[in-house]
Amino acid sequence: MKKIYLFACLALFAACSDENPFNSIEDDLDANYREANNEAVESEENHYRSSSSYMSESEKCQMGISSYSDTYCCSNYGYKCSSSLGEYEKCRLGTSTKSNSYCCSQYGFQCYNSSSSSYMSESDKCRLGTSSYSDSYCCSYYGYRCSYVSSSSSRYTSSSSSAVYYLTTAKSMKVTLTYYKQLSSDWDGFDNAGDPEVSFTIYTYSDGVLGQTINTTTFIDKQDTRLWSGSVTKSYTINKGTDQIKICPKVIDEDVSVNDSYTSGKCFTTSNIGYLKSTDIKEHEDYNSNYDLEWEWYLL
């Protein structure tokens, strides 16, 4: 009798209630199932996304799971760059500890982050891509930016299909000093005219690696001279395999006791020299508040 009474009470409660207790239990089971299913789907998606087949090569290089070499990852994406990289590559990739001005003046990289362009000659501006002149102008006058000009308009494009950017044989570099002028006073305590001595340091590179360092002999060694013009030529051998030449002038005032250096510190770089012909004369001008200097060179 008690059981019949209890069952009747439950039936009466269910009939009077707005929500069926059995339906509530069923809803809870459905919610738990959906949550578990969603977690399984999300876990599968995350596993797929983390798999190497879903990643770009840049991400693979970053995580160290690329099938390509460290050099490839470093050169193309800036990852896996080891300390064995040369300063040339570090400057190109923006990982060098040197200043932007150093990378710009030495290798032509990071120049848009450097404030040194206002002090550069037009030749260097063309070389570094900061010139306000056209690519055709830079190519025709200085041999830079030629890759951005059609081959028919570039006098630096070789007619031989076998030409390469580096020297396939050793060549003679002919350097000619043509002009010197003293711009500032007080070089000499007696008559203000200095005793200028001019020479050069020549650096050669092969794919960014330093090769030769050539300290030239003196081109002019004058007494009490403010202005000189003429032609003094010297020859130096440039080794096979060289693709870049950097020439740095040195100007001093020769004194009895200690020589005074007035060197500007500028250097002038020419790349892809394997394409140069003997008729391609490179003309340079170096100047600061103390002097103006002009010279030229070519390969023979």
Whether residue 187 sits in one domain with residue 116: no
Q: What percentage of the chain has pLDDT greater than the value 70?
A: 62
Whether residue 116 sits in one domain with residue 146: yes
Whether residue 235 sits in one domain with residue 204: yes
Q: List the domain range (segments joined by +) for residue 206.
A: 171-299
Specify if 140 maps to a domain. yes
Which residue did the predictor score with more confidence, 174 or 24?
A: 174
CATH number at residue 189: 2.60.40.150
What count of Cα atoms within 13 Å lies in the side-chain half-sphere of residue 262?
A: 27
Q: Is the per-residue pLDDT at 31 higher than 80?
A: no
Whether residue 276 sits in one domain with residue 236: yes
If you average pLDDT over residues 141-155, what whole number do you get? 58
Whether residue 269 sits in one domain with residue 223: yes
Lowest mean pLDDT among 86-95, 170-179, 259-268, 285-294: 86-95
Which residue did the predictor score with more confidence, 191 or 281?
A: 281
Specify if 49 maps to a domain. no
Whether residue 176 sits in one domain with residue 295: yes
Whether residue 98 sits in one domain with residue 145: yes
Whether residue 293 sits in one domain with residue 175: yes
pLDDT of residue 15: 52
Specify if 38 maps to a domain. no
Specify if 72 maps to a domain. no
Which residue did the predictor score with more confidence, 136 or 294?
A: 294
Specify if 184 maps to a domain. yes
Q: What 3-state class would DSSP assign to 12?
A: helix
Dist. CA 270–CA 202, nearest whole Å: 11
Residues 245 and 208 sit within 8 Å (Cβ to Cβ): no
Q: Predicted confidence band at 23 (pLDDT cuts at 50, 70, 90)?
A: low
Whether residue 179 sits in one domain with residue 292: yes
Whether residue 265 sits in one domain with residue 188: yes
pLDDT of residue 117: 43
- DSSP assignments along 113-152, one per residue: G-SGGGGS-HHHHHHHT--SS-HHHHHHHHS-SGGGS-GG
Whether residue 223 sits in one domain with residue 148: no
Whether residue 253 sits in one domain with residue 189: yes
| Domain boundary, last residue among 120, 153, 186 | 153
Give me the number of domains the chain comprises: 2
Lowest mean pLDDT among 42-51, 221-230, 232-241, 247-256: 42-51
Which residue did the predictor score with more confidence, 253 or 151?
A: 253
pLDDT of residue 205: 94
Tokens 């990071």 found at: 110
Specify if 74 maps to a domain. no
Lowest mean pLDDT among 15-19, 47-51, 154-158: 154-158
Specify if 199 maps to a domain. yes
Dist. CA 293–CA 263, nearest whole Å: 11
Q: Which amino acid is at 69?
A: S
Q: Is the per-residue pLDDT at 63 higher than 80?
A: no
For 51-80, letters b (16+ CB in 10 Å) and e give eeeebeeeebbbeeebeeebeebbbebebb
Query: In the predicted model, what is the mean pLDDT of the chain?
Result: 76
Dist. CA 74–CA 250, nearest whole Å: 37
Sign of CA dihedral 167, 172, 173, 178: negative
Q: Predicted confidence band at 105 (pLDDT cuts at 50, 70, 90)?
A: low
Specify if 235 maps to a domain. yes
